[in-house]
Amino acid sequence: MAKARIQFICQNCGAVHTRWAGKCDSCGEWNTLVEEGTAGGIGSGPGKLSGRKGRAVALTSLSGEIEDAPRIQSGIGELDRVTGGGFVRGSAILVGGDPGIGKSTLLTQAAAALARQGHKVIYVSGEEAVAQIRLRAQRLHAADTDVLLAAETNVEDILATISDSKRPDLIIIDSIQTLWTDAADSAPGTVTQVRAGAQAMIRFAKQTGAAVVLVGHVTKDGQIAGPRVVEHMVDAVLYFEGEGGHHYRILRTVKNRFGPTDEIGVFEMSDRGLREVANPSELFLGERNDKSPGAAVFAGMEGTRPVLVEIQALVAPSTLGTPRRAVVGWDGGRLSMILAVLEAHCGVRFGQHDVYLNVAGGYRISEPAADLAVASALVSSIAGIALPADCVYFGEVSLSGAVRPVAHAVQRLKEAEKLGFKQAVLPKGSNDVPKGRNAHLTETASLPDLVARIAA
Ligand code: TYD
Ligand code: MG
């Protein structure tokens, strides 16, 4: 019998301490340590003296067993792409996002889609009553599917409920913050409870081969509230995000043991639920005013998918002692760098000007490949010269003013061509760009060279 022991758990990062302290050594947060006793239940692995015998299998013998559909595809293309080709049987996925962003909506739609294909899906909600879930399902036109609904928050009850129904394919737990187990005596929502609950669900997934989706709410600073620890336990972490005031949502992979981690899925929230956006470029390009200076279209990549977005710059004479620099959708530090390079190597002076930079549609760019498009937009705005409307830009700018090649040049060009763009400005020496395929490719090796072209 394991001895009951007292330990202190950081409610921010989940680190376990043997004695109380004002500050967590692990994450540096103050006043986050909470005393918790473990009675040898969930979460107390070591300490057992006699173990049960397991079964070791040869790697080569597995090929036959795994063949039968290790993945469950929802048929919602944007979701399947982000999961790396469907939910993996026996795996656990964490879907995080701000409250109200549409996690329950997305998973209700996924549940309905899977149920229509004959998969057995159980939707366990700790936040809404069964009647409320049904109401939502009706609005999403998903009420006619045989998804099993349960309104439970106790882990033991949930396990009893889902074990009762024969071999479920997918279990959705909405949300892990509502889970609590008898084995831990702290309040629901604490790290101990969330971790114990998640652990129990993950164990169930591994034992039965069902895919488990855990929904988690995220705090303002982007951390999954409390259960950051859960991120390490699950096989994949997806974030559902959206900009305030815009009705589209982006599902992003943060971690994936069974697939790529840089994929995005794009959805649009409508009155009848989430709609897939198969061609995000059209959404982010929006309504473009071809004639205005300061706009440049960036040919970007999100995972395996090219995405075109418009970058808008406004450079205006400043009345302030220290001119303003404001950025939406891009890194402010990176903007300062591009401005410095333009000043130092191209003779473009921004010292007396306010600079505003906006990525259209509320989209966020993290790729350095956007440097060239940003620089072009800035030069276009300060010079008052509109860039060609049918031209895309991509390339990384270094501090010396050199333009460096970036990956996936061919895919970026193909997407641009597909959307009717006829010209492109790209780094000299970009890999495998077929020479002469597009007569309007401008290869540039340095920023001064590009600035001279725009001004010409
Ligand atoms: P929800 O899925 O409940 O968010 P979460 O589970 O992430 O907290 O989504 C709630 C929001 O979505 C709410 O503001 C209303 C909106 N919504 C629609 O616009 N259309 C719909 O069909 C549905 C179901 C929700
Ligand atoms: Mg919800």
pLDDT averages per 10-residue partition of the chain, 456 residues: 73 84 87 71 51 77 59 91 91 90 93 93 92 90 89 91 84 90 81 88 91 85 63 90 78 87 86 87 72 90 86 93 92 95 94 93 87 95 92 95 92 87 89 65 90 86
Report pLDDT for 44.
Answer: 47
Residue 69 near residue 89, CB atoms below 8 Å: yes
Looking at residue 395, its amino acid is G
Q: For Cα atoms 179, 47, 157, give the angle at the middle one, nearest 5 degrees.
A: 25
Domains 71-278 and 283-455 share a fold: no
Substitution candidate for ligand 1 out of 105, 109, 174, 247 with most atoms within 8 A of CB: 105
Report pLDDT for 289.
Answer: 67
Report pLDDT for 13.
Answer: 77
Report pLDDT for 242.
Answer: 80
Residue 6 near residue 35, CB atoms below 8 Å: yes
Helix (H, G, I), strand (E, B) or coil at 382: helix
Q: How far apart are CA 176 and CA 97, in angstroms?
A: 12
Burial pattern 245-270, b for ≥16 Cβ within 10 A else e, equals: eeebbbbbbeebebbeeebbbbbbbe
DSSP code for 133: H
Q: How far apart are CA 385 and CA 373, in angstroms?
A: 15
Burial of 155 (0-12, 13-18, 19+ CB in 10 A): buried
Question: pTM for the full model?
Answer: 0.77
Measured in degrees and rounded to the nearest 5, phi and psi for residue 266 equal: -115, 130
Task: Provide the CATH topology of domain 71-278.
Answer: Rossmann fold (3.40.50)
Closest CA to 370 of 444, 311, 313, 314: 311
Report pLDDT for 298.
Answer: 95
The DSSP line for 322-377 is S--EEEESS-HHHHHHHHHHHHHHH----TTEEEEEEEGGG-----GGGHHHHHHH
Atom 1 of ligand 1, residue of closest alpha carbon:
102
Domain boundaries, the chain: 5-38, 71-278, 283-455
Report pLDDT for 330.
Answer: 93
Q: For Cα atoms 393, 394, 400, give the angle at the middle one, nearest 5 degrees.
A: 115
Gap from CA of 77 to ligand 1 centroid (Å): 20
Report pLDDT for 295.
Answer: 93
| Ligand 1 atom index nearest CA of 140 | 22
Task: Provide the CATH topology of domain 283-455.
Answer: Ribosomal Protein S5; domain 2 (3.30.230)
Report pLDDT for 381.
Answer: 95
Report pLDDT for 64.
Answer: 54
Report pLDDT for 169.
Answer: 92
Q: How far apart are CA 203 and CA 210, in angstroms?
A: 10
Burial of 142 (0-12, 13-18, 19+ CB in 10 A): buried
- Using CB distances shorter than 6 Å, the residues near ligand 1 are 97, 99-105, 136, 139-140, 269, 271-273
Report pLDDT for 14.
Answer: 78
